[in-house]
Copies of this chain bind each other. A is one copy, B any other.
Amino acid sequence: MEIMKVIDDLVCTRSVRQLEGISLRVMEDQKGKLWCASDPVGVGQGKWVVTTSGSAARWAMPSFSSTTDLTIVGIIDDWEKQKKEIDG
């Protein structure tokens, strides 16, 4: 799993039906690259979260039929503080 930051919402004007009604977020990984994740948890902008990828991303959704490959699975409250301690 990766540690990413929620940057913004993402709105698709048209999508495959398996993504309809699913909350999408713009995510930033630790190198600053942007991704799109499905969010079954309901996370606000600026929060640090744990994401899972691959088929696990579908298992983490309420319905396995969603066609995501990246899903937010947990919120980390104190990541910036913890990261500073890790970096020493």
Residues in chain A within 8 A of chain B (CB atoms):
1-3, 7-8, 10-16, 18-19, 24, 26, 30, 33-38, 40-41, 50, 52-60, 65, 67-71, 73-78, 82-83, 85-86
Closest to A12 in B: B74
- Shortest C-beta distance, A19 to chain B (Å), equals 5
Chain B residues in 8 Å Cβ range of A38? 1
Closest to A82 in B: B8
Given A37-B1, A50-B24, A55-B56, decide whether A73 and B30 contact each other with a Cβ distance below 8 A: no
Chain B residues in 8 Å Cβ range of A58? 56, 59
Q: Is the CB of A68 within 8 A of B40?
A: no
